[in-house]
Each structure stands twice: as C-alpha cells, then as structure tokens.
Amino acid sequence: MSEQKIADYELKPGFGGMAKDTGSDQTMFKGVHWGKAMMWVFLLSDTFVFSCFLISYMKGRASTPVEWPYPSEVFALEVFGVSVPLLLIAIMTFVLITSSGTMALAVKYGYEKNRKMCGWLVLATAIGGLTFVGMQAFEWSKLIHEGVRPWENPFGAAQFGSFFFMITGFHGTHVSIGVIFLFIYAYKVFAGHYDTGKRGWFTSMKGDYVEIEILGLYWHFVDLVWVFIFAFFYLW
C-alpha cells in the first residue's frame, strides 16, 4: 500500500476520526444485511449464556456426592399401564427437529417469492413450536406433581430440580418468543407485506423475505440448543 493510501487510513483524534472509522466499517460491510448481522451477534451472546448454564450443570452434577436421578425413571411416561422411558422427550425432540426442517423450507420458498408455500411452512413451524411448548408444560406439571422442586427432588440429588427448571425454562422461553414471532411473520407473509414492501410496525423498514431467513437463524439456534439439553439431561 502506498504512503498516500496509508495516510488516508490514519485516524485523526476526536469526533472526526471516530466518524471516519465508522464510515470505513460501513464501506467494508456494505453488502451485509444489518438485521442478519445483529441476529448473529445475539446468537453468539446467547451461546455464551447457554454454555454457562450447561457447564454449571456439569460441574454441579460431578461435584455432588448424592446419587443423580436416572433419566429413564424420572422422565418415563406410562402408556396403557406400561412405563415407557423418555417417550415424551422423544416426541418433543422429533417435533422440534421437524419444525427446523419446515423453517428451512419456508426460507427457500420465501426467496423464490412463493408466498403461499412460505406462509404455510412458517405457520407449520409455529404450530410445531407451540406443540413443543405444550408438551414441555405437561412434562413440568408431571414432575411437579411427583414432588420435584427447585429445592428438592424425591428421585435423588436436590440440585436436579433447580438445574432442570432453570435450563429447560430458559430454553422454553426462547421457543415461546419464537412461536409468537412465527405467527406474526406468517400473517405478514399471507398478507403480502414482503411482496409489496410494506413497512414494519417497529422499524418502519420495508418488508423483505430476508426477515424469514433471520427468524430461521433464531429458530435453528433454538433447535440446536435443545440437542445439547437433550444429551445432557435425558441421555447422560
């Protein structure tokens, strides 16, 4: 690089230098959609939060002298008088992973401007997420009925309840928020807001199918986190 170009990139002190630095960043990342970039930043920060939760769970489980509950016993579901281990959890996992597939297809049809297919697939994803939340609520009510609390647990170590309700509750909150936005976006797709470029309620920006992809990033992240929760809580 020539001395003249190097001099052009040197930042002056004060507000002028800050403005020039901001302008160079905008030029460098000009082709990146700001919403998609901010979603990646959010997902990265959320990854740290879930990682802290799961690491704390592993540390707590490894350090307790009391026997940890057996998942096949705690999460068994009785069907026609027969106790089936992890049946409800398997169905929940299948529903959530399937919803990730419908979300991926919704993004595909969105970029193809196939409004009808995109809308139905976003709606199917929302229904899948709602089903998952409903089954998780049933699971919570079953455990509470059996005496599991954040401070006590009849199946073994008392810490189990606090870790379980905190981590699955935090994940369930993410799923619930995602379901709300999925229903909103399904309405916007069916109403043709992304085809006409109608401005959004909050940002006043013109609607575009890239919003479906951004929501898809969030939904795939929620599904991926559940895979780790499933492995740590229900299989370990």
pLDDT of residue 14: 60
Span 76-96, mean pLDDT? 86
Q: Could you tell me which residues come within 8 angstroms of residue 43 by beta carbon, excluding any fewer than 6 positions away? A: 217, 218, 221
**pTM for the structure as a whole:** 0.81
Structure tokens at 183: 């229903």
With pLDDT > 70 as the criterion, what percentage of the chain qualifies?
82
Measured CA to CA, the distance from residue 17 to residue 10 in angstroms comes to 8
Residues 206, 211, 212, 216, Cα dihedral to 10°? -170
Q: Is the pLDDT of residue 66 over 90?
A: no
pLDDT of residue 32: 67
Q: Could you tell me which residues come within 8 angstroms of residue 54 by beta carbon, excluding any fewer than 6 positions away? A: 167, 228, 229, 232
Instruction: Give SS3 for 83.
Output: strand
Position 31, amino acid: G
Q: pLDDT digits over 128-186, tens only?
A: 999 999 999 999 998 899 888 888 888 888 888 899 999 999 999 999 999 999 999 99
Q: Say what angle helices 115-145 and 210-229 make with each other, to 10 degrees.
A: 30
Q: pLDDT digits over 201-217, tens only?
A: 555 556 678 889 999 99
Choose from 25-34, 111-120, 173-182, 209-218 the range with maximum mean pLDDT. 173-182
User: Using 50, 70 and 90 to split pLDDT, how confident is the model at 107?
Assistant: very high
Name the more confident of 111 and 77: 111
* Best CA proximity match to 89, nearest among 225, 185, 231, 210: 231
Q: Is the pLDDT of residue 122 over 90?
A: yes
User: What domains can you pick out in the chain, each with its CATH number?
Assistant: 33-235 (1.20.120.80)
Torsions phi, psi for 152 (to 5 deg): -155, 160
